[in-house]
Structure 1
Amino acid sequence: RILDLQKEQYQVKVFIVSDGEENASREFRASQIGALIRCLIAEGWAFDYYGTDHDITSMADTLNIESNRRVMFQKTKAGMESARDQYMAEIMKEKMSFMESRRSDSSKK
């Protein structure tokens, strides 16, 4: 643990964008990264996987990305903009919920 905080006091989000299946790594295999992601999810981290013209289900499964945190988008400027806008809307919704729960917790003290 890097920070001396409880899981309820912070949020870590990782946004993975891919335009194809991973095929160039020299140090890590996707399965090794998936094991690390599984450990980080247990620590409260969240991972989102946005992919284009490949089997995002298979790759996201290998990386242990939860099914509700995967999005396929078109490999175009408009597709990327749409994916970005969708992601930002989700982040804002999650951020507002997180801040509201923090306010609620602090008012109980």
Structure 2
Amino acid sequence: MTTRSHITVLLDRTGSMASIRDDVIGGFNTFLAEQQAAPEPGTLTLVQFDSQDPYEVITDFAPLRDVAPLTVETYVPRATTPLYDALGRGILDLEARLAAIPDALRPSRVLYVVVTDGLENASREFDRTRVSALIKAKRELGWEFIFLSADLAAFDDAQSLGIGRNSSLLFGKHKRGNDVAWSLASGKIRERRAGTSDEVAFDEGERKSAE
């Protein structure tokens, strides 16, 4: 194991995200720049999902320094929300990728970030029970799941999936809420990558600031 980290960002690209499209692009790009500025080595996978393409890989396990910013050409909201399919496939794909890496090079921290504004409504391959089991197994191995949601029902659903409330953040569906959510997540993840915190966790004051 190494001091390097891997970050996966699973990004909701469904039609309801259209109203905050530019904010999401800006939030992700700020997040990316802050992670790239950190001295610790790391890799990133960026996946966006909707019912037309439940798992579109934009960046596949690339060194952070090589990851390109998100653009309006890449991020085009549309369709509905196969959240379970995206999560299930993402976890299995990352599991396979990590298993293929020699122990000496395998990331010591795995941080899985989900950003959405809606409740599951379109999955065909995975259901809540299967995804919950996958999340439970990976959390037991030390993976950390961070859930950023602009929808209360989806936020509550994350708890039922086994994503801890401490690492979940409900944000207002507007520029300020979006910006605060990305900024808080970025800071917490940088602390984890640096080894200066034991977990990604949001306090009540931070929750209030993202409303």
RMSD: 2.1
SS at match of 2:177: helix
Are 2:194 and 1:88 aligned? no
Whole-Å separation in 1 of the counterparts to 2:149 and 2:126: 20
- Give me the whole-angstrom Cα distance separating, in 1, the residues matched to 2:117 and 2:155: 14
Q: Give the alignment's TM-score, normalised by structure 2.
A: 0.42
Match of 2:146 in 1: 48
Name whichever structure is richer in strand by fraction.
2
Q: Which runs of 5+ in 2 are unaligned?
A: 1-97, 197-211
Q: TM-score, normalised by structure 1?
A: 0.77
Counterpart in the other structure of 1:68: 166
Distance in 1 separating the partners of 2:127 and 2:143:
21
SS in 2 for 1:21: coil
The Cα of 1:18 is off from its aligned counterpart by 1.4
Q: Which residue of 1 aligns with 2:195?
A: 97
Matched residues, percent identical? 29
Please state if 1:30 is matched with 2:128.
yes
More helix, by proportion: 1
Whether 2:59 is the aligned partner of 1:59: answer no
Deviation at 1:67, TM superposition (A): 1.8
Q: Deviations over 1:8-64 (max 9, x none)?
A: x61111001110111111111122111101001111110011111222453112210
Check the 8 A contact 2:172/2:178 in 1, yes or no.
yes
Q: Which runs of 5+ in 1 are unaligned?
A: 99-109
Task: Give the distance between the partners of 2:182 and 2:173, measured in 1 at CA.
Answer: 12
1:4: Cα distance to partner?
Answer: 4.5
